[in-house]
Structure formats: C-alpha cells, structure tokens
Chains A and B, each alone.
Chain A
Amino acid sequence: MNARLLPYVLILPVTLFLCLFFLYPFVLVAAQAFGGSDGLSLDNFRDVVSYWKFPISLKNTMLLAALVVPVQLALALLMATMVNRMKKGRDLVLYIWTIPLGISDLAAGIIWLAIFEQSGFLNSMMTGLGLAEGPVNFLSYQNPGLVFLAIALAEIWRATAIMLVILVAGIGLIPKEYYEAAEVFGASPWQRFLRVTLPMLRPSLQTALILRVVLAFEVFAVVAALGGTLLPVLMGEIYAYQFDLQNGGAAAAMALIVLGISIVFTLIILRVLRVPKGATI
C-alpha cells in the first residue's frame, strides 16, 4: 500500500468512530437542549435553572470539587514524592496505592457505606471505645454536613490514585541531573521539591488536574450510594430528569451546563499551568 496513504487508513477507524459517537452526539444534545415547541428556544434552560433544586445541586457539586480536588492533589504529590525516594518495596506500595484506580465510583460508595451506615464499622468502633452510647445515624437528613464529608472521603479515597499515577509517571521523566545540580548548590529537599519537581511537573499537573476536575463535576454514583437524595448533585439531577421526569430536553440542557462548566475549568487550568513553548524535557 502507498506509504503516504497508510497513516490515514490507520487513523480512519478512530476518526470515524469518534465523529459518530463523540462529535455527533454533542450536536444532538445541543439540538435537544435548544429545541422547543417552535424552533430554537431557551425554554429548557430556563426551566432547569429556575427549578429549586438547581442552585443546591450546583453548589453541592462545586463545593465537593473544591474540597476534594485540592486534597487529592496534595495527597498525590506527597505520595508521588514518597514513592520516588523509596528503594525497598516500591512496587508493592505502588500497587496498593493504585488499587482504587480500578474501583468504580459505585463500589467506592458502597465501601464507604459499610463504614458510615447505622450498623456500620464507624459506629461499632465508637461504641466499642465508649465514645457513643449507641449507633448514630450519620447519613440522615439531620446531618447534611456528615453526608457531605462521607461523600468527600469516599471520593478522595477512590480517585487520588489516578492523579498519583500521572504524577509518578511525570516525576519519572524529570532528569536526575537537575536534582544533583540543585543538591550541589545546597538546596534542601523542600527547595528541590519547590524549584525542580513542581515546575518540571507542570505538564503532568495539567493533565492530572483537568482529568480530575472534569471527573469531579461528574460525581454521581458515590453520592447515590451514600447520600441517596439527601445531597443533590448535577449528574444526579440529569439522571432524574431523564428517568423519573422523562424530560429529555431538560436533561440535555443540564448536560450542556455541566459540559460548559467542564470546558471553562479545562481552559482555566490550561491557562494557569501553561507550559512555556520549547520548555519540554
């Protein structure tokens, strides 16, 4: 086969597939969201935004992302630097730390339910230690703060691993000479981390943050497992529109809103953590 055509033949299947199942659906979802009884309209958006649950679910989703992502970033950075200087048992520790990578959000929600439910392990422990009289119902409407905290913990537990993997891979790409040079000039470990690791890690930080932030806006199953309907979030509302209310137009409008938020944050992260041209390793 012609060598000039071959690469195009090879990428054709992916391109076709993505056009059909990635680009085209976005056109469809936009059409559905803006579609009204008579041509283009913003009715769906108006309905969705004015619904009383919208501000709450938006606030919950945002607060959750604002709490979870920074904690995960700090934790992943800490773990990545720890693993980097490890000599013995590195593989085992990395395997253990990346286990949650393979665990679905639904399973993570169920796992943390085992801890927080009324007859769960946290209650057993507290009663055993004499800290509580009897089992407390943590996940009830009376403790919205605790429900929020439980969901945040489950999210941090589950999704720190993806950041860790990206950051460990990124740290592995930083040439050892930079650290040696820094050491020669008397930089402390903390200074080496601030002046060498962090700036060199920028591309990885970018990828990790974008991926995590977008996924944080998609939080759904963890919330469903732990909070039920106690803590409405955007994705849960979309699901409710689609199934319980059978309102496809509203679901599509909500989807576009989530999409818009994701894009805005992606652009912000790209801008803030931009890699200077020609500054790759």
Chain B
Amino acid sequence: MTDTAVLLPDQGQTRKTGRWLYAASVTLLCAWVIVPLYFLLINTLSSPETVNSFPKSFVPEFDLGSLTFFAGFQGMLTALKNSIVVAFLTMVMSILIGAPAGYALSRFEFRGKEAFRLLILLTRAFPLPLLALPLAVMFIRTGLDDTAFGLALVHTTLAIPFAVLITFSLFSGIPVELEEAAWTLGCTRLTAFTKVVLPLILPGITASAIFAFVISWNEVFAAAVLTIENRTLTAFLLQTLGEAPLHLKFAGGFILVVPALIFIFAVRKYLFAMWGIANR
C-alpha cells in the first residue's frame, strides 16, 4: 500500500512531463512547417527595396511593390496563364482517362487485372519527368512541341496513376448493391451510373482532379525541357533563377505556393482515404 502511495504522484509527474513534451513537439513541428512559409509571405508583401535590404524585419510591411513588379515582368503573366492552361488540361484528361479504369478495377474481376494494376503501380517507381527527353523529339515531329497540350500529355502521365488509384478507392467505397437496386428499378448500366454513382462520387472526383491540377502546376523538369516560348510559371522561374532579382523570385514562389495551400485544404478529407487503398 505504501508503495503505491509513494509511486502515484511520481507517475503523475512523469505523465504530466510526457504530455507537456508531446504538446511541445507537436507545436514545434507545426512551426517547422509554417515559419518558412511565413518568411516567404513577409518577403512577398514587402517592397523590392526592403527585400534586398539587411537586416530583415520579421513583420510584413504590406507593400504590394514586389507583386506589382512580378505582374509587370516581361512574360510572367503569360507564363502564369500557360501554367493554368496546362494544369487544367492535365486535370481534365487524367480524370476522363483515369476514372473509367478506376471503376473497372473496383467493379469487375477480369483477366489481366493484376498485370494492369502492376503497370499502374510501375509508373510510380519510375522517374517520370525523364520521359520529357524522348518526348521532346517525338513532339517536334508531330508539331506538339512547345504547346500547352503537349506538356499536358506528359503531366497527365504523371497524374494518371494517382487518378486511377484514387478513383478506384472512391468507387470501392460505394456499395455495388446501390447500383444493382437501380438496375432492378429499370436503370441501364449507364443511367444507374449517372444517376446513382456519379452524384455520390462527385466530391471525391473533384478532390482527385484537384490533385492532378497540383501535380501539373508544380512540375518543373518536364516543363522546362518541353517548353521554350510558351513557358509555364515553374519553367519561367527556373530559367530566370540565375539573373532574376530576389523580389521577383520570392513573389513568384509565393504565387506558386498559394494554390497549393488552397488545394491541400480542399482535398484534406480524401488525402488519407486515397492512400489507404492505394497501398494494397
């Protein structure tokens, strides 16, 4: 009895320290992610003179000088537009091509299913941006070189494995009985799909479309190899890294980051469900 009486407050102490340590490490790790982003924000919202001065202030001065400079920089807005066009094309293509396969994987047992899944998984184990090299030659022959569509095709290759696996897991989450009920009520396979499955799946499809958009938006290597006149924002920034003034780099980096923040927020619910199934 005396033993426990002595032990208890001690244990309580350890637990308290443990909890404090736990909370501290969670906070620290959050800060590790957020603080560098905050620094970028300060630089973006400061005038070009402040960005190049020393020492730095740790609060933004809310001056739009850097961003105005970015917008006025020769070719920057076109690059921004190209980025959006390519990412949008990638999004549409990867869903249109990938979703049917995801549906097939979730609903049917067929010969060659394993081989097909292997092909999809294989693409993830390859350094895909390297594909841009041979495709550069192929695109010149077919007139696709330096076009948004050509680059979008490469980005779709990057996004498609994800699109297939994500839609596969989404479709698997919808009981096949729902479809069967619709068939008995007079729906054909197609109308059962459009009237029952599609409305249920739409938010998930949107999430995976957004994911495809981000993949394309962020891609640097293939974009830099495949575009010359019609550079995307990443390719343009990469090209000007050597000579661009600091405030231009930071404003550009900030513009690259903003959609990512919004998109991750929009898809956060699906992020883990997507990967849970994709692992199997």
Chain A residues proximal to chain B, CB less than 8 Å: 1, 4, 6-8, 10-11, 13-15, 17-18, 21-22, 25-26, 28-29, 32, 78-79, 82, 86, 91, 93-107, 110-115, 117-121, 123-124, 127-128, 135, 157, 165-166, 168-170, 172-173, 203-204, 207, 210-211, 214, 217-218, 220-221, 224-225, 228, 235, 238-239, 242-243, 248, 251-252, 255, 258-259, 262-263, 266, 280
Contact = CB atoms under 8 A, between A and B. Distances in A.
A135 B54 CA distance: 8
Nearest to A6: B108
Given A11-B100, A169-B273, A238 B133 contact: yes
A7 B103 CA distance: 8
Contacts of A157: 32-33, 36
A100 B34 CA distance: 9
B264 A166 contact: no
A280 B280 contact: yes
Interface stretch (B72-80, B124-132, B173-181, B197-205): B124-132
Nearest to B55: A124
Given A18-B119, A207-B279, A115 B241 contact: no
Contacts of B110: 4, 7-8
B30 interface: yes
B30 A102 contact: no
13 contacts: A7-B107, A21-B131, A21-B135, A29-B134, A124-B56, A166-B275, A169-B279, A210-B125, A220-B221, A225-B241, A228-B242, A239-B224, A255-B133
A102 B221 contact: no
B133 A252 contact: yes
Contacts of A21: 131, 135, 153-154, 156-157
B264 A98 contact: yes
Nearest to B190: A1
A105 B264 contact: no
Contacts of B1: none
B64 interface: no
B276 A173 contact: yes
Contacts of A203: 279-280
A115 B126 CA distance: 32
A217 B189 CA distance: 45
Contact of B249 (A110, A124, A255): A110
B108 A7 contact: yes
B116 interface: yes
B22 to A, nearest CB: 7
Interface residues of B, number: 93
Nearest to B43: A114
Contact of B218 (A98, A103, A115): A103
B271 interface: yes
Contacts of A280: 280
A8 B125 CA distance: 24
A255 to B, nearest CB: 4
A210 B124 CA distance: 9
Contacts of B263: 102
Given A103-B218, A104-B260, A238-B133, 17 more contacts: A10-B100, A10-B108, A14-B98, A17-B97, A25-B135, A28-B135, A93-B26, A95-B265, A97-B29, A107-B260, A114-B42, A115-B39, A170-B276, A218-B127, A220-B220, A225-B241, A243-B225
A18 B54 CA distance: 51
B91 interface: no
A235 B182 CA distance: 52
B146 interface: no
Contacts of A32: 133-134, 137
